[in-house]
Structures are given as structure tokens and as C-alpha cells.
Structure 1
């Protein structure tokens, strides 16, 4: 099974806004659980796979709380361990910033736009942004396309601004708040590609944000409105947000350090109950949009990329995955559409290896699930 290696991945993704006791929810809240919620026996089975791996993770004192979802055999099970920094225990209504997992939502929107004929994957992106000099989004005779953006092979840098390593979080948040679409396009108009488009993998939140901006232009609607129209209306998600109002501040896992909003690259805030619905949408089968969004656009040996998802052994393992790191949270999601199985893990803890650790525990949970009797 694939092990995700990225030495300072969580630290980099802080910029993308671009074990004290154990508690476990027996099942999601009745009004939030996807159809086919776990029976008591199914819950015991799933938790027999989850508990030893999360408890192993929490032997590191940095992981004071861990929440998540497992989707298995047509059922979604949420779970919560430990205590949040506030002293509260997390539950199905606790809100976590999922950071770059936002990109997978953008991937669904891009797949929908391709189906609608609003965009084409292999048309130069500059065709959709007339205010940008096409020469800025080309190198060595190759134009940047949406396919390149979706697969992180555009040659665009990881960030355009606010990436100084010694910048304190409050200053970084203020910087990101000032980095609106106008500033983004101004900086994009001066960018130099780091490699020929299509040649080299370079993770780029700039590219993902650019996808979101193109889709906003093509549909004449905001990113938030597009999510509501094309994603949440299908998944049934009602507790995923770009911004949190005063009435929901107390529900945040880490109220301080929340990013300034969402865009195509990052920023969504969600409850585990709604992530359960998101996984169910991908894994319940029979959805042409999901098939398109999870079909690799680039595959190099065992690893590749679909519509913003990373892919691993699509012909055998069939794994798709993504990590997310915000100012005070780390998250991981992996799905196995062929097996109808998925795992989401999140924690109010940030470290250079946090997403790799969550990846390892998700892999181990999946391995345990596969050994369960029918």
C-alpha cells in the first residue's frame, strides 16, 4: 500500500488558505448520518479496526484529539477520540478546517464543467483569462491547460505570496486576507513558470486556485455557489463552510488561526457528519460524475493524478488520496471506489510529519477492515 512521503508537507500546507481520555460516538447524529447508518454490530466491527490505530497515533502527546469517518460496506461511521485544545470533547458537530482536501471538491466542479461543455481540459488556460498575457502561462512552446492544473504539472509555483517561513500566523492570515482575486491575478501576470507544462510534477495551490477562478468566470457564479449547486445538492452536505459566523465559533476544533475563506485550493471547514456524506457520495456507486472525477488524467507507474485526487495503482489497489494542513489542523482522506471503502482522519495538531502519520494510520485501518469477516 502506498506510503505518502513529503518531508515538510504539513508545514507548507499551512499557507494554503490557501492522549487525554478517549471518546467515541456510537453513530452519527440521526439528522446528519447518510442513509444506511451503522447497525450496532457494524459499528463494533468498524471500531475494532479504528480504535487500535487511533490509539497508537495518540501515544504521541501531540495528538490530543482525533476525529474521523470510515465508510465500509455501505455504511458510514464517525468517531472521536481525546480532548480538543479547549478542553471539550469532539463530536459530530465539531468543525475542522480541511485545507487542501478542498481541492477534491474543486475536482468535482471541474469534472462537472467538462461535462457541461463550459471548459475543455486541453485548451490553454489563458483562453479563459483574457487579462493575462498568454506568454506568462506558457513555456518552451507549451501552454498551461486545465489538465496541467488538475494534475499539478503546470509549472506554476506552490504559492504566489504569504509563504515566508518565519511569518507568524496572525501576520500570515492578514496577508492571505489581502491576497484577494485581484491581487492573485496581478501576481499571476508576473509569474514565471518553473518547468515546461506537462513535464514535471510540482504541487501547486496556485494552479488549484486558478481552476476555481476559471470556473467562476465560466459559470458566472462564486465558488461557494458552485459548490452548493453541483456538490452539496448531490451529497446532502449542509455543514461545510467557507467562513464561520459567530453562532458557530464554539463548534470549531481550533477557533484561533482559521483561514480567511475558501477558494479552489483550500479553506473549507466541515463536520465529520458531512464528510461522512461526502464519502458516501463517492463510494455508494452508480454516479457518472464520480467515475469521471476519479479516473486518472495522468498515470506514471503506480502513481498518478485524477481531478485533483492523487491516485495509486488504479488497476489493482484503486486508491485515491489527499492530505490537508491548515494553521492548526491536519487531515487525510483516502478512498477505494472499487471496494466502496474510505477513511477520513483529522486532528487539531500540526507537525512536519502529521499528514504522513495520518496516512499510515488510514492505511492500517483499511488493512484491518479488509480482514474483517463478511
Structure 2
């Protein structure tokens, strides 16, 4: 009887400590999130946490219409879209449809002799690591990035990209002139992921949206992640701003596999859970290091960035549209993942989201 009473006391005390740790985490997150909103250009935050397949969401601030963000809001997830494209490429590698060191011209109609430099061709590996030499965007107008006005640049890019068709894409691709060996120089590119998606469509005889649905959305239980929103869903799409509170344009459809996806915070938490399940062979492959610096501390996955410290791998990526910024990271060994989204874009915003994510991770990682 005494043992039974003692056991119940221990269970009771343990449950209190669990509750207290969760409450303490919430108090901590509330404090640092509200402080960031108060002292920076960031005016709203949507924060999602996954730990051992359990999720928590936190919403702060005002999205610009007098309302706090919520589960129904859609956000442009911008370059986080690339990680979906990378996962589809990993699926193709796993299905033995191609390899990451294939010359991409093997899958293109036409010669495209221009997609090599000194005999070295563009490969999927060089695209995944942004070392292909392909330009940032099509149409290729490097002059617009010379001393740009960052309040006007999004509108210039939007006007160039909005009605850019597949035919125009391949016309521009034929004009590309590489100036260095693919695989040697970092040059961020939205062209590479879109080229990858066009190739995957040909390989699978299936369009990009259907590939997403078959290999990711269905398995990850993502019902609110889309390239194009329905008319009745657009009212839930959060307006983005510059740091000067200028309303920014939304990404056009031509950015496609490089940044066109819109999603909700709950759906992105499902995506993190899906990414944490490395029993899925394509998911595990997409996390494999395919490039690293000489010191071995920085690695690239399939459009993922990676860090390894004390044997604990952190896999992360950020997304930035004209008016939205996001930061996603997860730790497969610890079964922890976090995502933070805000509807403002600026040069220092991602650094602030990264720091906030690190602070939250350090607070929750040892809590039960």
C-alpha cells in the first residue's frame, strides 16, 4: 500500500514538473517574441514547434489588418519551396530515374552546348548547391541588381517574371553563358530549381503539382499547401511588407519550383514531422551531405543547408519573398523542429528569425 501511495505521489510530482516546463517555455517564448516585435521592424510572428511528433503553435502581433495571425493564414513560403523540389529530386534518384551527377542536358530536348564550361557540364549536384553558374532569375537582367532601390526592386522583378512562360524559360536557357566551371562558385539561382522541376516533369510524365501531391502532400498530410490558391482562399493570404511598411507584391506563378508555394503554419509543422521521419528513403537521401567546406562543418543537402556540431545535425533553410520571411530548422536525432514566419522582408530579418529560433531550441531541447 505504501509503495502504491509513493508511486502515485511520484507520478503526480512528475506531471507537475512536465506542466511547469511547458508553462516556462511558453512564458519564455512569449517574452522574447513580444520583445522582438516591440523593438524591430517585425510586427507579427507565427511560431511552430515539433517535438516527438507533438506540435505547438504561437501567434503574436498584427499582420497589418488589425488581426493576430492564426491557423487559417496562408503565407508565401518562398525558397522553402526549393526543399520540396529537392525532395522530389531525391525521390527520382531513389527511383533510379537519374543521378545527381548526371549532365542535365541528358534530359533536355536540344543540344544546349552552352550549359558547360571548358567541357564540364551543369549537373544536379551543382544546381542543388547553387554552384551551377545559372543566373538568379529569367529573364536574366543582372543590371537591375547594381545599386538597386530595394523598395522598387520587387516591383521590377515582379513585372519581369509574372508572365514568364515555359517556352520563354527554355529560350532564355539557350542564351546562358557560363563564366566558370560548374560546381566551383556559389551563385544563388532560382533558375536551377525550375530547370530541375521541368526535368522531373518529363522523367515522371507528371506535372510539378501532381508530383508534390503524390510524393509529399499525401504522405505528409498537407492539405493547405499549394502553388496557386483558390479565389476563396486568397483572403487568407497574409499581405507582405518591406521594412518601411510598404505593401509588397506577391510572387508570380513563374517562380514555381523555386518559390511559389503557399502554406499554413499547421501544414508546415506536418512537413517538419514528415522530414523528421528518416525511415522514408527519399527523405533520408535528401538530408545526405553532398558538399561541404574543408573544415567539414558546413554541408549541403538537397536544397537544405546543414550544420553538424557535437554529432548533432541541424538541417535548415530560410525563405524570403518580396514581403515574407521564414526560417525552418530541425534536428533528426532529437526529433525537434521549428519554423518561424513573419510578413516582412528585409536584409536583417532572417538573422533575427534565426537567432529567435536558436533561443527557443535551446530552451525546449531539454524539457520533457
TM-score normalized by the length of structure 1 = 0.83
**Match of residue 95 from structure 1:** 74
Asked if the contact 2:42–2:349 (Cα under 8 Å) also holds between the matched residues in 1, the reply is: no
Structure 1 residue aligned with 2:199, among 187, 199, 214? 214
Cα 1:45–1:340 shift into 2, 3 Å: farther
What is the CA distance between 1:263 and its match in structure 2?
A: 1.8
Runs of 4+ in 1 over 6 A off after TM superposition: 39-42
What is the CA distance between 1:41 and its match in structure 2?
A: 6.7
Cα 1:347–1:200 shift into 2, 3 Å: same
1:246 maps onto 2:231 in alignment = yes
Q: CA RMSD in A?
A: 2.1
What is the CA distance between 1:298 and its match in structure 2?
A: 1.0
Write out per-residue CA displacement over residues 216-241 of structure 1, whole angstroms, 9 at most, x where no aligned residue.
Answer: 11111211111001100110000001
Asked if the contact 2:316–2:328 (Cα under 8 Å) also holds between the matched residues in 1, the reply is: yes
Query: Aligned equivalents of 2:115 and 2:27: distance in 1?
Result: 50
Query: Aligned equivalents of 1:139 and 1:333: distance in 2?
Result: 35
**Match of residue 114 from structure 2:** 136
**Match of residue 76 from structure 1:** 55
- What secondary structure is seen at the aligned counterpart in 1 of 2:42? coil
What is the CA distance between 1:59 and its match in structure 2?
A: 2.6
Unmatched tracts of structure 1, length 5 or more: 1-38
Asked if the contact 1:99–1:326 (Cα under 8 Å) also holds between the matched residues in 2, the reply is: yes
1:183 maps onto 2:168 in alignment = yes
1:288 maps onto 2:281 in alignment = yes
Structure 1 residue aligned with 2:130, among 152, 162, 179? 152
Q: Which has the higher contact order (CA 8 A, sep 6+)?
A: 1
1:223 maps onto 2:208 in alignment = yes
Asked if the contact 2:138–2:161 (Cα under 8 Å) also holds between the matched residues in 1, the reply is: no
**Match of residue 120 from structure 1:** 99
Query: Aligned equivalents of 1:109 and 1:46: distance in 2?
Result: 36
**Match of residue 265 from structure 1:** 258
Structure 2 residue aligned with 1:204, among 189, 198, 213? 189
Asked if the contact 2:277–2:283 (Cα under 8 Å) also holds between the matched residues in 1, the reply is: no
What is the CA distance between 1:254 and its match in structure 2?
A: 0.7
What is the CA distance between 1:196 and its match in structure 2?
A: 0.6
Unmatched tracts of structure 2, length 5 or more: 1-17, 241-247
Select the structure of larger CA radius of gyration: 2
TM-score normalized by the length of structure 2 = 0.85
Q: How does 1:100-115 map to 2 (within 5 A)?
A: 100-115=79-94
**Match of residue 4 from structure 1:** none
Number of residue pairs matched? 334
1:320 maps onto 2:299 in alignment = no
